Copies of this chain bind each other. A is one copy, B any other.
Amino acid sequence: MKADKISELTTNRLSIYLRCLNELASEGRKTVSSDILAKRFHLNSAQIRKDLACFGEFGVRGVGYYVENLRDQLTRILGLDHHHRVGIIGAGRLGAALADYYGFTQTNFTVAALFDADPGKIGEQIGEVKVYDVANFSKIAKKESIDVAVIAVPAQFAQPVLELISKAGIKAVMNFAPTPLLAGEDVKLKTIDLTISLESLSYFLAQPALPNGQQK
């Protein structure tokens, strides 16, 4: 099929498939069908096949997919065969927590540096990582080969920080500030807005339960 425009929903699912395959591989399973994968991990088998078909023909009819092979393919497709170096801007509690978040540390992501504007924090050591002056961001980012930036500053500073990141030539940014940001065409920006998620839970709680006691 080899579609040239891959939806983000598809790539997000690739991460999930990869996780499932790692689990199966550690159990020693050699092959798996899309149907088994779907049943076991509560997915849809047609969707799995279609998502994979965007990138090639990895399966064998009548057999399924070779677990290790597919895992390697997905690892490659997701770029997880390369290491990434992360810079976190904002050395508050959230930034500090992210600095040794196992998702960063355990995988192909290494937190290389923290940045802050507060002179009280600059120079501090948080876990393995040093806090630098955000004014030197571009210089340190180059020196430390940072290719992923994380914004963990208050909302009002997020847009200028994003521009700083952009000027330093970094193309992948994760934003935790609860505000929409405008990024250049060539920069991939992912915003994780905890406020929206919380308010979505609040909305759910505000809905009256249906008569039978079930929610819609």
Contacts and interface: CB of A to CB of B under 8 A. Distances in A.
A202 interface: yes
Contacts of A26: none
A216 B196 CA distance: 28
B180 A16 contact: yes
Interface residues of A, number: 66
A8 interface: yes
Interface stretch (A44-52, A61-69, A135-143, A170-178): A170-178
Contacts of A79: 202-203, 205-206
Contact of A180 (B41, B171, B200, B201): B41
B8 A200 contact: yes
Contacts of A84: 201-202, 205
Nearest to A97: B97
A101 B107 contact: no
Interface stretch (A29-37, A115-123, A182-190): A182-190
A154 interface: yes
Given A205-B147, A206-B79, A12 B200 contact: yes
Interface in A98-118: 98, 100-104, 107-109
B195 A103 contact: yes
Interface of A: 4-5, 8, 11-12, 14-16, 18-19, 41-42, 77-80, 82, 84, 93-94, 96-98, 100-104, 107-109, 147-148, 154, 171-174, 178-180, 182, 185-186, 188, 190, 192-206, 209, 213-216
